Amino acid sequence: MTTAPEAPPSLRFDVQDKTRIIHRLRRLEGQVRGLQKMVEEDRECREILTLLSGVRRALDSVGEEILEAYLARCQASPGQPQPAQVVEVVRLLRR
C-alpha cells in the first residue's frame, strides 16, 4: 500500500502583500497590452524596447517578492539557514 505524496505547503500572503502584488500584476498586464498596441501601430522600435525593458524589470521584481514570501513562509526547517537570512540574500540580489 502506497501513501500519497505530501502536498507542498500553500503560499498564503497577508492581505496587504496580496493586494500590493495583485495591483502590480494588473499594472503589468496593462503594460503588456500597451506593448501589443505599440507593435500593432508600428511604433518606433526604441519606444517598444524601452517599454519592454520596463515590463521585464517589473515582472522580475514581482517574482522576487513572491520568492521572498515563499522562502520566508514555506522553507523554514531545522538545520537550514533561517528564512530571514535567505530573504536578506534575495533582497541583496535585487539591488
Residue 20 CB partners (closer than 8 Å, separation 6+)? none
Domain that holds residue 66: 15-93
Beta carbons of 8 and 71 less than 8 angstroms apart: no
Whether residue 37 contacts residue 51, with contact meaning beta carbons closer than 8 Å, is answered with no
With respect to residue 85, please indicate whether it lies within any of the assigned structural domains.
yes
pTM score, two decimals? 0.68
Taking only the tens place, the pLDDT of each residue in 37-89 is: 999 999 999 999 999 999 999 999 998 888 877 777 765 555 666 777 777 77
DSSP type of residue 79: T
For the cut 90, the answer to whether the pLDDT of residue 93 exceeds it is no
| 10 vs 69, more confident | 69
Dist. CA 26–CA 12, nearest whole Å:
19
CATH of the domain at 50: 1.20.58.1000
What's the domain count of the chain? 1
